[in-house]
Amino acid sequence: MSLQIKFKNSLSKRVVRLMQFICRNHGVHYQDVDVMPQRMNYQGESYALTFREPKPQHPHLVGDIRLHRQFYSRYLEFERDIIVYLPPSYKTQPHRRYPVLYMHDGNNAMDPRTSFAGVTWEVNDTVERLVKEGLMDEIIVVGIYNTPARMYEYTWTQMVIDGPHPQGGHGKKYARFLVKELKAFVDRSYRTLADRSNTAIMGSSLGGLINFY
């Protein structure tokens, strides 16, 4: 089963990207996901997104997973979900504290229902396997879901990408959110090792870029 939605040529490319984001984060698969809107199925005076039936999902998530929905920030425009992976000994060793890995684009980290194209990075699976094999210590993983403002939040300078208006440049606000709001919340809510040497960040693409800020 497939569905095709057509847009007029004058429709803002940003609106098309927003449509892509909404579909991706609700588990709707569509063709031409990685191309710019002007290269999508062009038919006369309209663009088209072609949707196809989603692949089967596996809702079971490996490990002890907690989800904090619609986390609010006074620094950023959009609320976002936060997904947290807790290590195997978290419940059985109540006095133990753990290092924390923060991951941008956290919707891709563990849950196929929210990940890009339904394929996760399998962070929780990988951590569990490496811990069992004795190749790494137990850690807490915090996945920070992205938002429609991803381009703005993951860059610290403005740039012209398409159209006459610059985009990006909210990286400083995003960093404040991470340090002053999210990390503070995680350290209050979970048994973390909160010092600098036990805190790390990780990301892919723009999520990797913002790590350098």
Under the banding of pLDDT at 50, 70 and 90, the label for residue 190 is very high
Q: What is the pLDDT of residue 169?
A: 78
pLDDT in tens, 47-59: 455 545 445 445 5
pLDDT in tens, 119-165: 889 999 999 999 999 999 999 999 999 999 898 899 988 776 666 77
Is residue 130 within a helix (H) or strand (E), and if so which, with residue range? helix 123-132
pLDDT in tens, 19-72: 666 565 555 554 444 333 333 444 444 445 554 544 544 556 888 999 999 999
Q: What is the pLDDT of residue 63?
A: 85
pLDDT in tens, 76-85: 999 999 999 9
What is the pLDDT averaged over residues 182-196?
97
Q: Positive or negative CA dihedral for 85, 87, 89, 93?
A: negative
* pTM exceeding 0.85: no
Rg (CA), the chain: 19
Please state the three-class secondary structure of 171-206 as a single string.
HHHHHHHHHHHHHHHHHHHCCECCCHHHEEEECCCH
**All domains in the chain, ordered by first residue:** 2-52 (no CATH), 64-212 (3.40.50.1820)
Write the CB contacts of 198 (distance below 8 Å, at least 6 apart in sequence): 99, 100, 192
> What integer best gives the mean pLDDT of the chain?
80
Q: What is the pLDDT of residue 209?
A: 86
pLDDT in tens, 87-130: 999 999 999 999 999 999 999 999 988 988 788 899 999 999 99
Q: What is the pLDDT of residue 174?
A: 95
